[in-house]
Amino acid sequence: MRVTIFGSGYVGLVTGACLADAGNHVVCVDVDQGKIERLKRGEIPIHEPGLDELIKRNAEAGRIEFTTDAVKGVEHGLFQLIAVGTPPDEDGSADLRYVLSAARTIATHMNRYAVVITKSTVPVGTADKVRAELTKTLAGRGANVEFDVVSNPEFLKEGAAIQDFMKPDRVVVGTDNPRTTELMRALYEPFIRNHDRLIVMDIRSSELTKYAANAMLATKISFMNELSNIAERLGADIEKVRVGIGSDPRIGYSFIYPGTGYGGSCFPKDVQALIRSAHEVGHTPGILDAVESVNNRQKQVLVHKMKRHFADQLKGRTIALWGLAFKPNTDDMREAPARAIIDLLHEAGAKVRAYDPVAGAEARRIYGDRPDFVITKNAYEAADGADALCIVTEWQEFRSPDFDRLKQILKSALIFDGRNLYDPGMVGRFGFTYYAIGRGKAATPN
């Protein structure tokens, strides 16, 4: 198969690398000349486990290439995938300018039948807009070229995206033409050979499926965080509650871990976009409004605990932060809880010493060089001399620290754990005061 992908960001690169690894010839097109040059040198602009090796292997085999030449890309592919960004607009709606620009580019240069696939996460009705843009641009050229538009949303988890693509639990295809169903089946056949995971539906249902999936997962997170706040006030332990309800197969254990709120490039943006879509059709989405409200509030919980502990005297104090990315195995800090925490600490006059295994460079890009924010080389360097330790991301290396060493290097044996990594009783025996999420009163030295 000959595949062209417009957009060499997270979705485009993972999709392109995995399709190339199955033997397809993939051309990735991007308007960012600098990014394309880096990709040609083998420099991958995002952190995703295994992606650099996958791209290197397929580039050396000639199955994936990178270019800014849109004409070459359009001429190359039977499948034209649009995987450009859809950033939130000021009102929370998805900004479709890059999607429609890609559609115009395809129609400007296409001279034979193509399947135009929206891979970006887009609101319901976007495929209709893409089709209209293609039709208008072709008419402007006086060209009569046949095409089909397909919705094929991605369901990739950052940190496990390659596994998700190679062994998908579902491949959703929205189409209004049986011919394209068979073409899409052929494209994905190497990945669904053991079990037919292809789910075919109408285009609008496909577009809504992506938003519905992310909104449902975000709802589980916010619901659990709401419960954690109730549990803390009732003197219950949310971790025991989590195990109790997760054992019910109707609920399950996924996405019911209390913490500091969700972040990343998908959940916040998609919940906002779905809320906006609902308002546009005259519906007030009460649950989704609550999900977003609870999440925004949850990002502030750890700082509120710090303020109470220090009697609102955070000015001049130094807080060690473990974890900057919105979740482990990525360097993505978009909408990350750590950013809200850092901003609140800075507003209170505190300094931050932060460590993250991979997101340090991204944090430097966001915050620049400033005296109240220091990125350290390791976790213990961040904690050295700090008034308290704040855990924000549940990286594996944070799960079993040397508590004796921590106690020696921290000014105060004080931990604010936003991911409930430790047993409160055990931490107390090491002589720490330990604040967690939804686990009753702080554990104290014993």
Radius of gyration over alpha carbons of the chain, in Å? 24
List active site positions: 266
**Residue 321 to residue 5: CA distance in whole angstroms:** 38
Q: Is 388 exposed, middle or buried (0-12, 13-18, 19+ CB in 10 A)?
A: buried
Instruction: State how far the Cα of 261 lies from the Cα of 341, in Å rounded to an integer.
Output: 11
Q: CA 254, 256, 258, 262: dihedral to nearest 10 degrees?
A: 70
> Is-contact 433 406, C-beta < 8 A?
no
Distance CA 344, CA 69 (A): 44
Distinct helix (H) and strand (E) counts, the chain: 18, 14
Please list the residues that pair with 318 across neighbouring strands. Answer: 351
Which of 161-188 are b and which e, b meaning 16 or more Cβ less than 10 Å from the residue's Cβ? bbebbeebeebbbbbeeeebbebbeebb
The CA distance from 204 to 188, in Å, is 21
Residue 335 DSSP code: T
In single-letter form, the type of residue at position 174 comes to G
Classify residue 397 by its DSSP letter.
Answer: G
Q: β-strands 388-391, 373-375: how paired?
A: unpaired
* Residue 143: both structure tokens together: 């060209």
User: Is the distance from CB of 252 to CB of 262 less than 8 angstroms?
Assistant: no
List alpha helices for 235-336, DSSP H.
Answer: 238-246, 267-280, 286-298, 301-309
Instruction: Tell me the C-alpha distance between 434 and 350, whole Å.
Output: 20
* Structure tokens belonging to residue 257: 């871990």
- The residue assigned the tokens 């969700």 is 262
Which of 156, 179, 187 lies closest to 81 in space, CA to CA? 187
- C-beta separation of 83 from 12 below 8 A: yes
